[in-house]
Amino acid sequence: MLEGSILYQLKVAHQPGQVGKRPLNFGVYYKNTLVALCHALEDCILECQSQPLVITAFQRGKWYLEEADRYADLAARSQQVVIMAAPDAGFTEHPTSQRENVELVSLRADDPVAQEWHLMILAPTYAAMVLCQELMSEDYGVQGLPTQDLERKFYGFWTFESNLVQETIELAIAHIEPYNPSLAAKLKTQVQQIAQAQTQTQVRDDLGMIVSRVVDYLQSSQLDLNGNSTQHQADAYLASLDTNLIANEVQAFLRMAQLTDQADQLNPNAAAEVATLAEAIGQLLNLPVWQLNRLRLAGLLHRLAPLQQSQTVLTASTFGRYADDDSNTAPSCPLIPGAQVLRTMPQLRAIATIITHLTEHWSGSGQPGNLAGDAIPLESRILGLLIEFQQHLAIARQQHPDRPDHAITALAACQQDSSDRWDPKLIETLALLVGGFQQGLQLPVNSPKISAGLWMIDSHCADDLYEVTP
Amino acid sequence: MTEPLLTNPTKLLPGAALEEEDLSGQNLHGVNLAGARLIGADLSRSTLTGASLDGANLASCQFIAADVRANLMGANLMQADLSEADLRGANLRGANLMRSRLHQTALAGAFLSGANLMGGNLQGADLRGADLRGANLSGANLQGANLMQADLQGAIVTEANLEEANLQGANLAGANFAGASLLCAELEYSNLDGANLAGACLVGTVKA
């Protein structure tokens, strides 16, 4: 990794042991994936409720010129656009470059940032970032150098986390300073204003729409790949590119779910902990491996459902907004927006169904489908119970950090409404697991490695859980 | 025409000759096929829990999505397809898995010490806590595989693809990673004492 590059500086700031900073997980991206990803995140600017600051690094001016017409539209909806690139002919002359709110930073050829591909978008209502560096020729190793432009490899990460975007923008501004001190001063003021507006308004663009667009653009790239496969291209090359696109579709959902966790200061580990508990319960029930995998992925994604947001962790006895709803006469299943977003990816159809039915009751009095007993998907029953259990666990830890019996307290809270709300068999299995905890069983809770998201989906995640039963 | 095997259990014996048999979807729980010849047999979606297949010749067999939590010590699984199969805790010590397909295979806690996995496809395999001591993974594709807490002491991992693999807490002491790609692999808390990383790509790892 190039010292002095923005990715390097950010990595150093997040080295293990840095207080308050989470180590960053990097992933591998083909140019093909980056183009689709950046186009999607950029096009969201056109529908953004506020005007963003956009800072980009294009490696060379010629790559910017390929996008310069699009950037005219983006600049029209932005507060400020900054383009960093090593200059090529025509770089400064393009009409977009002449716009009042577009600033060019001509990087020196030996500037490490000239090897990087960045897109940073920060607005009061929207934040997104792609931060990558191209592989050096020696790093391609035994696979050899790519023969196609779209096969060029980058590594880095992308995110919707606005604090991370702001941190990176500040690094970029520091990098711009020696080139153009007055621009740097102007950008600093703009960042401060945006950060202030973020805390004042709390309004955010609909992330579900943004994620849908990301998935849509990545899927289009997959179609393009497969449409062009008649040429003499190696299958392995196409498969790698295709895999990379699907992996990032899954990542889009995982990154969306991650934001809910991070916004919940009292229970920021819910997704990872629920997924781990679910896997343990699944093992006790001797579920087949494919179902364990599906359970784990649904656990990681369960916070996509907005019912988790509308509820504070301290009112845990009824989780979910439907539980308070007296009318059992819903004419049809209400749509769960978070689960609907998942349906943009057919490979995750079963996961969407599982998440939709998390709030059913064993007795049949739950929503959205009034399903009862074994008609509720098993994974929905397991996860519904474990979400409740984990919330009680988080409360118990917070209220009595010194006591060793958090799991017993949480289990007792779930047992209170076992006959009505939960599957009694699952309450028994959970009691077995809690007994294990009392005897010293420990489950390592690991945050998922989001960059490797693809490996969590297999063929069963696409199953249609309801079309087969009446 | 082959007889249905379940009505003729006498065929399921140690050392049996079952080449090219279609055993897909069968419940073969606990069978003893030690040393049997099953070259090219189709065992997809079958249940082989607790079965004895040690020393069996299973070259080019298909085990797609099968439950193979069995004893496969020293078995020949060359070019076998074990995609999405369940091999959790299976005994594969000294087995020959050269160029086998282990795509998204569940191998958590499996015993693979001394196994030959040269050129195997283990993309996205779950190898959490697996025992891979002294195994040969030369040229294998382990892209995105989960090797958390796995033991690769003294393993040969030369020119293997470990891009985006999770090696958190893994024991990599004395392993040979010459020419391997660990691009964006997760190496937090892993033990690299005495590992050979000559010519290995460590770009994008937390440790590098």
In a domain, B98, yes or no: no
At which residue do the structure tokens 């949480």 appear?
Answer: A410
Using the predicted structure, report yes or no on whether residue A47 has a pLDDT greater than 90: yes
Best of B183, B189, B202 to mutate (most A CBs within 10 Å, chain A): B183
- Would the CB atoms of B84 and A289 count as touching at under 8 Å? yes
* Surface-to-core class of residue A161, CB atoms within 10 Å of its CB (0-12 exposed, 13-18 middle, 19+ buried): middle
Set of chain A residues whose Cβ sits within 8 Å of the Cβ of B168:
446
Asked if the C-beta of A330 comes within 8 angstroms of chain B's C-beta atoms, the answer is no
Question: Does residue B37 sit within a domain?
Answer: yes
B129 contacts in chain A (CB < 8 Å): none
Residues B208 and B115 in one domain: yes
B84 and A139 within 8 Å at the Cβ level: the answer is no
Percent pLDDT > 90 in chain A is: 60
Is B190 domain-assigned?
Answer: yes
Please give the pLDDT value at position A317. Answer: 31
Residue B134, domain extent: 107-208
Residue among A64, A69, A194 at smallest CA distance from A117 = A64
d(CA A142, CA A127): 38
* B118 plus B206 within the same structural domain: yes
Nearest CA-CA distance, residue A27 and chain B, Å: 6
Give pLDDT tens digits for A183-211.
999 999 999 999 999 988 878 888 889 99
Give the nearest partner residue to A155 out of B159, B184, B206, using CB atoms: B184
pLDDT tens across A269-309, in order? Answer: 899 999 999 999 999 999 999 999 999 999 999 988 754 33
B128 has pLDDT over 90 = yes
Q: What is the mean pLDDT of residues A321-333?
A: 38
- Out of B88, B179, B183, name the one closest to residue A28 (CB): B183
pLDDT of residue A469: 43
Instruction: State the SS3 of A162-205.
Output: HHHHHHHHHHHHHHHCCCCHHHHHHHHHHHHHHHHHHHHHCCCC
Q: Taking CB atoms and an 8 Å cut-off, how many pairs form between chains A and B?
A: 78
- Structural domains counted in chain B: 2
Task: Check whether residue B127 and residue B65 sit in a common domain.
Answer: no
Interface of chain B against chain A, CB under 8 Å? 65, 67, 84, 86, 88, 104, 106, 123-124, 144-146, 148, 159, 161, 163-166, 168, 179-181, 183-184, 186, 188, 199, 201, 203-206, 208
Rounded alpha-carbon distances, angstroms, from residue A287 to A123, A142, A280, A346, B69: 45, 40, 10, 24, 14
- B133 and B163 share a domain? yes
| Model pLDDT for residues A409-461, shown as the tens digit of each residue | 999 999 987 668 999 999 999 999 999 999 999 887 777 777 666 667 777 88
Same domain, B201 and B124: yes
Q: The domain spanning residue B133 has which CATH number?
A: 2.160.20.80
What is the rounded average pLDDT of the residues A392-412? 92
pLDDT the model gives residue B197: 96
| DSSP state, residue A463 | -
Flag whether pLDDT at A229 surpasses 70.
no
Strands A53-60 and A116-122 turn out to be: antiparallel
Give, to the nearest 10 degrees, the angle between helix A289-301 and helix A349-356.
60
**Contacts with A452 from chain B: Cβ below 8 Å:** 124, 144, 146, 164-166
* Residue B10, CA distances (Å) to A233, B4, B13, B52 in order: 50, 11, 6, 16
Write down the pLDDT at residue A297.
92
State the pLDDT at residue A260: 83
Overall average pLDDT of the A140-164 stretch: 88
The pLDDT value given to residue A130 = 97
Pairwise CB contact (< 8 Å): B124 & A455: yes
Span B85-101, average pLDDT: 98
Both B195 and B125 in a single domain?
yes
DSSP state at residue B169: T
Q: What is the pLDDT of residue A411?
A: 95
Of A245-254, A304-313, B71-80, B153-162, minimum mean pLDDT range: A304-313
Of B57, B86, B115, which residue constitutes the final position of a domain? B86
Is B99 within the bounds of a domain? no
Contact A390, A345 (CB under 8 A): no
- Report chain A residues whose CB lies below 8 A from the CB of B86: 288-289
Neighbouring C-alpha atoms within 13 Å toward the C-beta of A256: 28
Mean pLDDT of chain B: 93
Helix, strand, coil content of chain A in percent (nearest 5): 55, 10, 35
B78 with B120, same domain: the answer is no
Is residue B97 one of the residues assigned to a domain?
no
Same domain, B75 and B172: no
Q: What is the DSSP string of B20-66?
A: T-B-TT-B-TT-B-TT-B-TT-B-TT-B-TT-B-TT-B-TT-B-TT-
Rounded to a whole number of angstroms, the distance from the CA of B6 to the nearest CA of chain A is 23
CB pair distance less than 8 Å for B199 and A288: no
Q: How many helices (H) and strands (E) does chain A have?
A: 15, 7
**Chain B interface disruption, residue of A5, A7, A26, most B CBs within 10 A:** A26
For residue A23, give the nearest of B188, B199, B204 by CB distance.
B188
Task: Give the pLDDT mean for A241-258.
Answer: 89
Mutate to test the interface with A, among B164, B166, B187, B202 (most CBs of A within 10 A): B164
Q: Kindly report the average pLDDT of chain A as a whole number.
A: 86
Min Cα distance B105 → chain A (Å) is 9
Rounded to a whole number, what is the distance in Å from the CA of A298 to chain B's nearest CA?
Answer: 18
pLDDT greater at residue A468 or residue A115: A115
pLDDT attached to residue A141: 79
| One domain for residues B40 and B70 | yes
Cβ contacts of B179 on chain A, cutoff 8 Å: 141-142
Residue B163 to residue A28, Cβ atoms within 8 A: yes
A449/B164 CB distance under 8 A: yes
> Looking at residue A363, what is its pLDDT?
93
Per CATH, the number for A268-462 is 1.10.3210.10
Interface pTM, i.e. ipTM: 0.89
Cβ A302 vs Cβ A358: under 8 Å: yes
* Partner residue facing A139 (CB), from B148, B161, B201: B201
Q: Which residue has the higher pLDDT, A334 or B77?
A: B77
What is the arithmetic mean of pLDDT over B165-178? 96
The band of B10, judged by pLDDT with boundaries at 50, 70 and 90, is low
Query: Which of A64-68, A144-148, B42-46, B193-197 is predicted with the least confidence, judged by mean pLDDT?
Result: A144-148
What is the rounded average pLDDT of the residues A154-182?
Answer: 96
| Between residues B158 and A241, the one the model is more confident about | B158
**Statement to judge: residues B114 and B79 lie in one domain:** no
In this prediction, residue B112 has a pLDDT band, given cuts at 50, 70 and 90, of: very high
Which residues of chain B have a CB within 8 Å of the CB of A454? Answer: 124, 144
CATH architecture label of A6-205 = 2-Layer Sandwich (3.30)
What was the pLDDT predicted at A233?
55
Tell me what pLDDT residue A64 has.
Answer: 95
The band of A142, judged by pLDDT with boundaries at 50, 70 and 90, is confident
Give percent of chain A with pLDDT exceeding 70: 89
pLDDT, mean of residues A32-41: 95
Kindly list the domain boundaries of chain A, sorted by start residue: 6-205, 268-462
Question: What pLDDT is stored for residue A304 in this prediction?
Answer: 85
**Residues in a beta bridge with B17:** B37
- Write out the DSSP string of A283-331: HHTT--HHHHHHHHHHHHHGGGSGGGTSS-TT--SS-SGGGG------S
